[in-house]
Chain A
Amino acid sequence: MKKNHSATSIIIIVCLIAAMLTACSSNSSTSPSSSEDQAAKSGTTSESGEISSEPDTHIVTDALGNKVELPVNIESIAATYPAIDAIVLMLGSGDKLVATTGYNSTNEWFIRMLPKITSLPQPFTDLKSGNLEEVMSISPDVIITSGQSNLDTFHSAGLPAVATITTSIADLKYTVQLVGDILGDEASAKADKLLKYYDEVIELCKSRTDDIATEDRPTVFYAAGSMITTEGSGSIVKEWIELAGGVNVAAENGVDGMFIDVTQEELLEWDPDIIICRDAATKDEYYNDPTMSSLSAVQNDKVYVNPKSVFVWCVRSADEALQPLWAATIIQPELFSDIDMVEKTRVFHNEFYGMDLSDDEVNAILFPTAE
């Protein structure tokens, strides 16, 4: 009787394991298929498509290497994270945005360029795929997202989507070009123009700062949203600080990644020469905090608020093209004394957004204040 029981139990355990294995095998065959399927599908459609001078669809390769078939004429677009909205707007296709995220809909510059942003639905949560049915009822011609898992979710629901990366300058450039290509010839030309401008800014900065030895560079701390949150190596922030002739003090001390909290003690020990705050409110925090106000950057009045217009310049968006130059005028003012940021800002916004800015407005962009 007892033996019988243990025999049954062994059989049951074997069944359990078998079940798990079937789960695995069925899984491994389905999981990578989405991108391959997509590629296969697009392959066949392009081959069997009717012969006409203007194809209806084309295949784009996204930042993760997925080949995705998209209509040539994109009438509507949505992005799961805010920087892409700003890129779309810059490339002249703001009116094609059909959904957004909370960040842009409260930015006065964004609203000024595209008033409808305040009334667009916000189906995406925490940079994830969000409410799928809501996205399907909006049904954009293309969704721009980040990460393979988001992409797979959209593809699984039959929604056309591409993934982007904007962690480094090179990735950001690829993304701008990709968004341009998706939106069509006009946007693509604008993307080329922006990237050319960006390259010129990078070259200009490089030519003046490349030879500065590390020990001669001012140490810079970048505050992302709080006094102790920063971005270290492997971020676009490190790249523009270096282009501007400074050294990212957090990266130098081994901080790796984006949105990393350091300790107050570390920050006090590093005692950076310059602090650049993403948000205006953070600057006030430094001055009002009894501990942090002893930092030499605060004592010497070297705490700056990063310029912000349609998007904050210091991170992964189109306005980042001006960031290395602005940072250079802050970090190496002698080397860049000939650069007039007011004029640069005015020309940039005129050329890329078609905005005519008054002096007050340029100042509001260059020196944002907390509300």
Chain B
Amino acid sequence: MKTNLDTVFSKKIAHSMRKGKLIVGWSVLLTVLTGFCCLFIGRYTLSPMDTIKILFSPFIGTTENWSVMMRNVVFRVRLPRICANILVGGGLALSGSIYQGIFKNPLVAPDLLGISAGACVGAATAILLSLSSAGVQILALLGGLIAVFLALVIPKLLKNDSTLMLVLSGVIVSGLLNAVIGILKYIADTDTQLPEIVYWQMGSLAGITPEKVTSVFPAMLISIIILFLMRWRVNILSLGDAEALTLGINLKVTRTIMIVAATLLTGCSVCISGIVGWVGLIIPHLTRLIIGQDNIKLIPLSFFIGAIFMLCVDTVARTIISSEIPLSILTGVIGAPLFFWLLMKTHAKF
């Protein structure tokens, strides 16, 4: 009898594990497919056949004569942009689900905690100091880390770690940091620096270059790998500190590594795309609706759903009219109602 029950139980677990793996597997495939499809869409008229031929020309060595412009459209505009979509969309969604998991709070996200604004302050300061783009990245990370630190310290000072308090603390931090961005805009040189800072705030991938993508790629990849490998610890952390301790996990170190990695991910996204709102909040929720609470599956899946979401949104941003639509406008228009729908659907009680 007992063994029977055990086998049923383990079968059930095995089934849900398989189902989870299957869904994540499909999401990887879907991401690649979406990215591939987006390669064919754009304002520059280029037939899908030509696009494919140009894309594979370096591997099969076709000698057909493409114009330099056509090659540039594929290799220097569309391809880097699609890579950036996957990195930014996936990165923001991933760091959102990490923050939500380790703070045990479904209402936090890189933009809501002020981390994006902090990264933006760092990046804008670097622009004002005329630092190289490496300096921009480092200061973006530092700005993000300072923002997380502030957002975490305020509830501690008030000796209140309720869900609401962390959200309020995020409101305070992002409010302050947005004001700092405002001050920096005032100091900035209108001719050369201001457009760049405004661009950080709007969120856009219009000015993406292969060099920008490769400059953030190593840092983002390593953060993503670390967070993927540590994802099972998020489950333990979200159980509560006492439980985590009994399981022999070094709380402080684990949490710090994850926060630094997630913040690095957010900071790097801000460096290439500026502040893109909503993705870090709604994608983890959407993913939870699909696959449930388990962070082991949730974390990879939210990365890929975030990537797919960003691929679709950015393709609209770059094709629908002859000029570019800032990303935050689109993610806001889609994200806000979607979040409302999610709250209705899940009958959320926070």
The residues of A with any CB-CB pair to B shorter than 8 Å are 1-2, 5-6, 9, 12-13, 15-16, 19-20, 22-28, 30-32, 121-134, 136-137, 139, 146-150, 152-153, 156-158, 165, 167, 257-259
Contacts and interface: CB of A to CB of B under 8 A. Distances in A.
14 contacts: A5-B250, A9-B253, A16-B261, A20-B137, A22-B218, A23-B219, A24-B134, A131-B322, A134-B43, A134-B323, A137-B45, A156-B76, A156-B209, A165-B191
A124 B249 CA distance: 53
B198 to A, nearest CB: 7
B206 A132 contact: yes
A130 B196 contact: no
Interface in B216-248: 216-219, 221-223, 226, 248
B293 interface: no
Given A19-B222, A128-B199, A136-B69, 18 more contacts: A2-B248, A5-B254, A6-B250, A9-B254, A9-B257, A20-B138, A23-B217, A122-B322, A123-B43, A124-B323, A126-B195, A127-B195, A132-B207, A134-B43, A136-B44, A136-B73, A152-B209, A156-B209
Nearest to B205: A132
B322 to A, nearest CB: 5
B42 interface: yes
Contacts of A24: 132, 134-135, 137-138
A257 B214 CA distance: 36
A149 B195 contact: yes
B77 interface: yes
Task: Find the residue from B42, B199, B324 having the highest chain A CB count within 10 A.
Answer: B324
B215 interface: yes
Nearest to A139: B69
Interface in B59-95: 68-69, 72-73, 76-78
B318 interface: yes
Given A126-B195, A133-B43, A23 B216 contact: yes
Contact of B134 (A19, A27, A134): A27
A137 B199 CA distance: 24
Given A131-B323, A136-B73, A147 B192 contact: yes
Nearest to B215: A27
B260 interface: yes
Given A20-B141, A147-B192, A156-B209, A12 B323 contact: no
Nearest to A137: B44
B43 A137 contact: yes
Residue among B141, B222, B256, B261 with the highest chain A CB neighbour number at 10 A? B222
Contact of A9 (B72, B250, B323): B250
A146 B45 contact: no
Interface in B129-145: 132-135, 137-138, 141
Contacts of B192: 147-148
Contacts of A133: 42-44, 73, 77-78, 318
B190 interface: yes
A28 B134 contact: yes
Contact of B190 (A19, A22, A125, A258): A258
B323 A122 contact: yes
Most buried by A among B195, B216, B261: B195
Contacts of A131: 43, 206, 318, 321-324
B interface SS class: helix
B190 A257 contact: yes
Contacts of B326: 125
A231 to B, nearest CB: 10
B225 to A, nearest CB: 9
A148 B189 CA distance: 13
Contacts of B191: 146-147, 165, 167
B283 interface: no
Contacts of B69: 136, 139, 158
Contacts of A153: 206-207, 209
A25 B133 CA distance: 10
A158 B72 contact: yes
Nearest to A9: B253
B120 to A, nearest CB: 16
A20 B214 contact: no
- Enumerate the 7 nearest inter-chain pairs by beta-carbon distance, A residue then B residue, closest first: A24-B134, A156-B209, A27-B215, A158-B72, A133-B43, A134-B43, A19-B222
Contacts of B261: 16
A322 to B, nearest CB: 24
B150 interface: no
B42 to A, nearest CB: 4
B236 to A, nearest CB: 13
Given A147-B192, A149-B195, A125 B206 contact: yes
Contacts of A122: 322-323
A16 B218 CA distance: 9
A122 B43 CA distance: 13
A260 to B, nearest CB: 9
A12 B257 contact: yes
B290 to A, nearest CB: 30
B210 interface: yes
A16 B223 contact: yes
Interface in B153-192: 190-192
A147 B130 CA distance: 13
Of the listed residues B77, B137, B199, B321, the one surrounded by the most CB atoms of chain A closer than 10 A to its CB is: B77
Nearest to A154: B207
A2 B250 contact: yes
Pick the most buried of B69, B141, B207, B256: most chain A CB atoms within 10 A of its CB. Answer: B207
A150 B204 CA distance: 13
Nearest to B229: A12
A121 to B, nearest CB: 5
Contacts of A19: 218-219, 221-223
Nearest to B253: A9
Contacts of B254: 5, 9
Contacts of B323: 122-125, 130-131, 134
Given A127-B195, A128-B195, A158-B69, A23 B322 contact: no
Contacts of B217: 23
Contacts of A129: 206-207
B305 interface: no
B211 interface: yes
A119 B44 CA distance: 19
Contacts of B137: 20, 23-24, 27
Interface in B306-350: 318, 321-324, 326
